[in-house]
Amino acid sequence: MNSQPDWAAAAQQFQKTATEQWANAFKSFQGFGAMPQMPSLDSMPMMPSLPPLSFAPEKLQELQQAYMREATELWNQGLTANPSSTDKRFASDAWSHNPVSAFSAAVYLLNARALLGMVEAAETDEKTKSKLRFAVEQWMAASAPSNFLALNAEAQKKAIETKGESIAKGMQNLLHDLQQGHVSMTDESQFEVGRNVATTEGAVVFENELIQLIEYKPLTKTVHERPFLVVPPCINKFYILDLQPENSLVRFLVEQGHRTFVVSWRNPDDSMKNVTWDDYVGKGAIEAIEKVREISGARQINALGFCVGGTILGTALSVLAARGEKPLASATFLTSLLDFSETGILDVFIDEPFVKFREQQMGKGGLMKGQDLASTFSFLRPNDLVWNYVVGNYLKGETPPPFDLLYWNSDSTNLPGPMYAWYLRNTYLENNLIKPGKCTVCGEKVDFGKVDLPVYIYGSREDHIVPIGGAYASTQHLPGKKRFVMGASGHIAGVINPPAKKKRSYWTNDKLPKTHDEWLKGAKEHPGSWWTDWAAWLKPHAGKQVAAPKAYGKGKIKAIEPAPGRYVKAKA
């Protein structure tokens, strides 16, 4: 290895390659959705491009020296080199026992470190660097030697041990997934909505063209006089909150003596291609609130919004406040964004050209396909949620085990184009919801400063969809008495953490300074689930105990069909 690479030329090539990689990533992920049916890049004049990059000579020299030092060491080791055992893709003994595979993995990891080093060395603005980092990480994940049978030592070993059966099974798995249109993360044949997921007993008591409202059967002789309404995200189906009896937040509420209602969003089809954000707020959250009050006879209720459901609920409360109405005694926001100043990795997709493109494409009608949304969210963690299953399903011929959470994750939902385009511009791009009077929804000016009620705000520490700082930011815009709690783990696992499991922990701090970092300095850690803390907070807001209802609905509002209803069973 006597000749050294020209790192100035390498930097120029890196800029060219990175720009191409970002364009390809953008084409693939098209802002919250892979879009294989999109036109070519050349026919899309508003495609974003990376601005010119520059590199400080001393940083390039430092990278060059580090690369040459590690490459020389690797070359001297030859086929005795071993990949890092800390990378689970190459941790198996099969890799260390196969010299060619081990060497290819070690070279891959070296080049990956060099590429990421060049990203960090690039002198550009932070958003461009984030785009660059995302594109390089996607390329790195896709080009790993573990993804190719010719280099994957584990897959080769299994093929030999099974006398080729694993390869045959892998081809069957590939054909199956091509037919169903997505990579299998679990054995989907083992689940059926209403049979072994979403099984808490209840009935649909109201429906319109956008939602079904489910009322659940009480499990206690008495219930709190103020019922509880759950507004789940419309980007996924509600039964993430009711997967199995032992991890169901819905069942937990019912067991705590709350008369519980849940919104089940309809999975949009072409008949809903003109539905707007106003419809989701008005015909969704607001109409659900009104029906729960009508059924229960309660002047006020309690409500919860999860993820985008929290954004919808917060907007609905602002609309109602502008009308002089205060139908809620308290609100809970789980991993929700009202302030979109901090949006994490999703920010790499959002800029003015992209949002304009989406507005022109579907702002006046159309659908954002659910599978496109699901693909993009998976590629936010490509090694864990994409390539891991490509390797297991196709190279090793394995059938992924049954897992209710991953079944739900694969049960995608569409979004109406006008609603989606409005959401992109007014939240992720312009962050208009926190600007008093900037947005008009359902004929009213949005102002969170008028949403004066007790609120419980929860964020997950390792959430990559709603970063913990973004979840905390809601405390700075809602004027009522607030409690903020941080849970361990991520967007879903942090939320779905029943007390009986005695897993993880949560943090509390009664003081609410301006930033989450300041809040965390004074926070106290508690073992177990945040659900117990929330239940204790909610109880005083739920009112006195009254006899549990013996039938669903009230008067002319009667049960339409058993829970979980038709809407949740519709496929995208």
Which amino acid, 364? K
DSSP state of 508: E
**In sequence order, which ranges of 487-572 are alpha helices (DSSP H)?**
516-521, 531-538
Residue 551: CA count within 13 A, CB half-sphere = 8
73's CB contacts (< 8 A; 6+ apart) are: none
Q: How far is Cα 55 from Cα 122, in angstroms, rounded to an integer? A: 5
Give the DSSP letter string of 313-359: HHHHHHHHHHTT---EEEEEEES--SS-S--GGGGGG--HHHHHHHH
Residues 163, 453: Cα–Cα separation, whole Å: 66
- CB-CB neighbours of 435 under 10 Å: 13
* Interaxial angle between packed helices 153-161 and 165-180, expressed in degrees from 0 to 180 and rounded to the nearest 10: 120
Determine contact, residues 383/348, Cβ cutoff 8 Å. no
Helix (H) or strand (E) segment spanning residue 133? helix 126-143
Sign (positive/negative) of CA torsion 32, 36, 38, 39?
positive
Catalytic residue among 234, 307, 439, 442: 307
Own/partner pairs, 45-48, CB within 8 angstroms, 24+ separation: 46/353, 46/354, 46/356, 46/357, 47/23, 47/353, 48/22, 48/131, 48/351, 48/353, 48/354
The residue among 99, 466, 133, 533 whose CA lies nearest residue 305 is 466
Please state whether 376 falls in left (phi above 0), alpha (psi between -120 and 50) or beta. Answer: alpha
CB 446 within 8 A of CB 323: no
Rounded to whole angstroms, the Cα distance separating 520 from 380 reads 26
Cβ neighbours of 483 (radius 10 Å): 18
Tell me, yes or no, if 439 is annotated catalytic.
no
**Beta carbons within 8 Å of 179's beta carbon, 6+ residues apart:** none
- Residues recorded for the chain: 572
- Cβ proximity of 321 and 478 under 8 Å: no
Tokens (6 digits) for 107: 């070279």
The DSSP code sequence of 149-214 is TTT-HHHHHHHHHTTTHHHHHHHHHHHHHHHHTS--SS-GGG--BTTTBS-S-EEEEEE-SSEEEE
Which of the residues are catalytic? 307
